[in-house]
Amino acid sequence: MTGKRLVRMTVNGSPVEEAVEPRLLLSDFLRQMLGLTGTHVGCEQGVCGACTVRLDGRTARACLTFAVQAEGSEIVTVEGLGTAEALSPLQEAFREHHALQCGFCTPGMLMTALDLLETRPGATDAELREGLSGNLCRCTGYEHIVAAVRAAAERLAREGKREGPP
Amino acid sequence: MKPAAFEYLAVESVEQALEALGAAGGEAKIVAGGQSLVPMLNFRLLQPSLLVDVNRIPGLDFIEVEAERVRVGALTRHWRQEASPELRRHLPVLSAAMAEVAHLAIRNRGTLGGSLSHADPAAELPMIALLLEAEIVTAAPAGGRRVAARDFFLGALTTDLAEDELVVEVAFRRPAAGSGWAFEELARRSGDFALAAVAVTLRLEGGRIAEPRIALMGVDETALRAEAAEALLEGEAPGEALLAAAAEAVRARVQPNTDLHASADYRRHLAGVLTRRTLQTALARAAGEAA
């Protein structure tokens, strides 16, 4: 069936149901059908990391996943962190440490950093750099991004909190 | 940068997958992690009429440690091969190599069976399968097979798999107790395809090298074993001159290509340097001098 088929999943905690073509990338599904334009589309070949989202608890490239494959899955996008009025601790740290300039890579950076905060809470700078190396940034030179993730990790540890909506 | 239209079938059993592949008569592609396949679809380098999604087949994500071999299910993702305590203990060279595969998000999705079936000459898993003399277990309509890794990789992106055949399991040979191992690769940037990589296992018996195994990737049409270098090392006492001779035998064995990332000469040079370094590390580990 190259025709449309029904796909159901949970996105940022809300159930969604849409009819999609099998060839529709998850990145385009999120942006065009759900209007969640926080997930950015850069290279569409899995290299730049701008489209990184959380798929069933682990980060994934939305441009290397078809929406039909996410049937029954839990998706979290950057819109699932904080809001402009109430930033998450990680977003707050990005602002404090000037970890973004043009902002194009930022959603992917945040979603990858979220994974690092949860799976490697005591990561060294070298480990953070390795973890973030799959996300390209052309503005910042990365120093401020590493500083922001480290600061967020320290704050979350100090306050005994998890990254997410405040 | 959008794939051409295709039909999509998420199968829930190996039998269902084989049936769909057979019915498509060579026009179908299997998708597991999709981390190599989907870019090729996005570029329209491939335009299959049907995508058979095997991610929902139960029972293909496992790690079983047996006396002679470690059996790993085809749907086991790279991050699990990297993090699994069993694999880190029994096949540390595999876990170490998995940490170098692309990036976090890619390793979260990519699978063992997918990487072997894709057979990229610069991918870590085909090299490790050759090093650990893996048997690749397949399912096919006429019954499955066990294919030795050395008979599996025929060329760049080309394997011995038939169009209606599916990799279901990989049985890696466990290096003997007390073996030393090492893995090293060199890439221009973290997560890039390596310009060259070398993996080694060996033992020391009364101060002499036993069962040396050397595998390389990124330096030929497929990953390969350096048999001549292995033969040179077998039964010999380690020393600088011996390691230099092994590195020379590796340089003579490989046939790298020149591309925009590195020249063939540089890749050949790297193959020699990394051979010497990995042999030193493996010897130190076999002698109990390194973790």
Indicate the angle between helix axes B240-253 and B264-286, nearest 10 degrees.
140
In this predicted structure, the answer to whether residue B242 has a pLDDT above a threshold of 90 is yes
The predicted model gives B126-141 an average pLDDT of 98
pLDDT, tens digit (0-9, with 9 covering 90-100), for A73-110: 999 999 999 999 999 999 999 999 999 999 999 999 99
pLDDT averaged over chain A?
95
- In this prediction the ipTM stands at 0.94
Which residues in chain A have Cβ-Cβ distances shorter than 8 Å to B41? 23
Q: In what order do the strands lie in the sheet with A14-20?
A: A14-20, A5-11, A74-76, A52-55, A58-61
The predicted model gives B175-180 an average pLDDT of 95
Q: How far is A77 from chain B (nearest CA, A)?
A: 14
The predicted model gives A47-68 an average pLDDT of 97
3-state SS assignment for residue B112: helix
DSSP code for A66: B
pLDDT, tens digit (0-9, with 9 covering 90-100), for B28-62: 999 999 999 999 999 999 999 999 999 999 999 99
User: How many CA atoms, within 13 angstroms, populate the side-chain half-sphere of residue B103?
Assistant: 27
Nearest to A2 among B5, B39, B79 (CB): B5
Asked if the Cβ–Cβ distance from B104 to A112 is below 8 Å, we say yes
Specify the pLDDT at position B1.
80
According to DSSP, the residues that pair with A11 across neighbouring strands are A14, A75
Residue B64 CB coordination number (10 Å): 12
Task: State how far the Cα of B35 lies from the Cα of B49, in Å rounded to an integer.
Answer: 19
The predicted model gives B88-97 an average pLDDT of 97
pLDDT averaged over chain B?
96
Contact indicator for B162, B199 with CB cutoff of 8 Å = no
In this predicted structure, the answer to whether residue B289 has a pLDDT above a threshold of 80 is no
* Position A121 confidence tier, pLDDT thresholds 50, 70, 90: confident
Contact indicator for B101, B108 with CB cutoff of 8 Å = no
* Position B191 confidence tier, pLDDT thresholds 50, 70, 90: confident
Lowest mean pLDDT among A92-96, B241-245, B285-289: B285-289
A74: nearest Cα among A55, A59, A61:
A55
Specify the pLDDT at position A3.
87
* CA distances (Å), origin B249, targets A123, B200, B269: 40, 15, 12
Task: State how far the Cα of B65 lies from the Cα of B54, in Å rounded to an integer.
Answer: 24
The predicted model gives B15-27 an average pLDDT of 96
Asked if the Cβ–Cβ distance from B38 to A63 is below 8 Å, we say yes
**Chain B CB within 8 Å of residue A14 CB:** no
The predicted model gives A142-166 an average pLDDT of 93
Torsion sign (Cα): B16, B17, B19, B24: positive
**Chain A CB within 8 Å of residue B52 CB:** no
Looking up tokens 């293909």 gives B60
CA–centroid distance for B116 within its chain: 6
**Chain B CB within 8 Å of residue A120 CB:** no
Measure the CA angle with vertex B9, ends B155 and A13; round to 5°.
Answer: 110
The predicted model gives B77-97 an average pLDDT of 97
Between the two ends of chain B, the Cα-to-Cα distance in Å is: 46
Asked if the Cβ–Cβ distance from A134 to B103 is below 8 Å, we say yes
Contact indicator for B82, B124 with CB cutoff of 8 Å = no
In this predicted structure, the answer to whether residue A2 has a pLDDT above a threshold of 80 is no
- The pair phi, psi for residue B96, each rounded to 5°, is -65, -40
Task: State how far the Cα of B174 lies from the Cα of B89, in Å rounded to an integer.
Answer: 11
Specify the pLDDT at position A1.
47
Specify the pLDDT at position B290.
56
Asked if the Cβ–Cβ distance from A22 to B8 is below 8 Å, we say yes
Indicate the angle between helix axes A89-96 and A143-159, nearest 10 degrees.
140
The predicted model gives B247-252 an average pLDDT of 98
Q: Where are the alpha helices (DSSP H) in chain A?
A: 26-28, 89-96, 106-119, 125-132, 143-159
